[in-house]
Amino acid sequence: MPTITMYSTGVCPYCIRAEQLLKSKGVAIDEKVRVDLDPVRRDEMMSRTGRRTVPQIYIDDFHVGGYDDLAALDHAGKLDTLLGR
């Protein structure tokens, strides 16, 4: 199984939707990074992704992007491949 990392905040509806989509695929988020609680991790996220919004999702070292990107991969039939299915 791949390692899934998600940068998120405590009150992010798209983060919740991303987590629900991954859960429906039978996988869990290995590391949920709360950027609202740790400014250093927010800076890390922005440096790593070039984006300021959450969620920012990684499957192993592949930057998926946000919830819309994750859902688009699923609709295109490519998410299962990334998840090792």
Q: What pLDDT is attached to residue 1?
A: 83
The one-digit pLDDT tens for each residue of the chain (85 residues) are 899 999 999 999 999 999 999 999 999 999 999 999 999 999 999 999 999 999 999 999 999 999 999 999 999 999 999 999 8
Q: Does domain 4-82 have CATH number 3.40.47.10?
A: no
Residue 50 identity: G
Structure confidence at residue 68 (pLDDT): 98
- Residue pair 9/57 in contact (Cβ under 8 Å)? The answer is no
What are the percentages of helix, strand and coil residues in the chain, rounded to 5? 40, 20, 40
Residues near 5 by beta carbon (within 8 Å), at least 6 away in sequence: 29, 30, 31, 32, 33, 57, 58
pTM: 0.94
DSSP state for residue 52 in the 8-state scheme: -
